[in-house]
Structure 1
Amino acid sequence: MTEAEWLAATNPTGLLGFLRGHEEFRKFRLFACACARRVVHLVRDGRAKAALEFAEQLADRAAAARKGRPAIYKAGLAACEFLWGQHQGRFDSGELLAHLAESNATHAAVKTAEADATVAAGGCTAAGLAAAYTSCRPPRLPTPFPPGRGDRIADEEWIQATLLRDIFGNPFRPVTFSPTWLTPTVVSLAEGIYADRAFDRLPILADALQDAGCEDADVLGHCRGEGVHVRGCWVVDGVLGKG
């Protein structure tokens, strides 16, 4: 894959394939969580939601959280099995679409706690696309879509590719965050953005970074651009020293 292909890709599959072999498991898991959160509004079972919340803790505190993963994941799988057994054979056409949406969303939430973060990422991508195909499609984010799109699956693929680039940045142009940029103000802003998912504050972070001497066009442009952002955003991670 070339840099131009990475930047222009409208499907996450090729991007995930390119990244395999250079795994950053925390980022893969956070990408899986971001995909699952796209459809979590369809999940009613608390066990599946707990798996998603746990997966984010696992991404940031893997050593402390690892012991609890088998029980959380097992409970999540039970939620999937319960959902399927509860509705099997009792569908009309409308109920079937709603059930498929909820089942795929529940599956995505549970996948995030899977042992292999790369598998979880792929599973959540597939589940998100399946949910997008139903009448209960995920919300359309304010992402600048390429012209001529509009198909549900194509839209969701584009959003997932955008999320992936938000998390992994541009692997062809890695950025080293100078210690001189990491003033107390910059670090405090980044911590708040990460903890609160307050990505609307990224332009403020860009201003603080620029005040600290950062003139990197990729860093400042990412913070001030129109794209979507999630936990794992490469700029916030770079400020906080997260890998």
Structure 2
Amino acid sequence: MSKPPTIVSVPMPCGSTIEIVAPGSFHIPRVLADGGLKNYEVHSTAAALALMERSEGAFYDIGANIGVFSLCVASALRRRCHAYEPFPDAATVLDELQVRYQLPIAVHRKGVGQTAGQAQFYLSDRSDMSNSLNPNFRKHRGVLDVEVTTLEIELKRDKPAVLKIDTETTEDQVITGGLNQIAHHRPSIIVELLNEAIAGKVRKLLLPLGYRCYAIGGGLRLQELSPIETSLEGDGRNWLFSPNPLDQEFADTFNKWRGVLFSI
């Protein structure tokens, strides 16, 4: 028997509230119901808001799920967001929110990878947050044929300010598929790194372009880190690759948004 839908009212960092209606099996709405935005990757969300506030261009949410990052950026800053999610049920939730609340979010029902075309998307038997184009990431309960695009294609359409990449162990492939555009536009990149193997691949791609790596989990640390010390818990999975050194002004902006998120 399927679970009843999760319905949760989530205060946004702009002062408004968004009501999310999602399938009861979805993980993120349950997390939000238990503690709001401060219960879900709060430091990474604060970093995204701070980066967008200080940059020109659009926010790219790669592996958006129901689009919490896009919802925050679009509602708080009214900035353009491009959310990529190949899982139809999750994309539908975000699509309905975008329409209902008139948010500047373009929902793209496709994956992002190293090459464009068709691919198999594996539905995790553990959580909707573990769906992946990588067949070996988790045991899966089903497979979908999905469209896959590349950042080389997508970043030509709208200048990127910030990329958030969370694709369950294919993050290096996403970056490889857009390396020329990344080198050209030099957006800030928030990326999930679940293990040292993925971290090493991402470092080899971005550090030669002059990017610097910073820890996000537990609060921003302004010192650069190498090698990356990976953690498998919450925000500890997310790292910020910045094309420029972070300064105290950025830290102050980050702390402002973190304070807002913890207060709502």
Q: Give the structure-2-normalised TM-score.
A: 0.24
RCO comparison, higher one (Cα < 8 Å, 6+): 1
More strand by share: 2
Structure of higher CA gyration radius:
1
Q: Give the structure-1-normalised TM-score.
A: 0.25
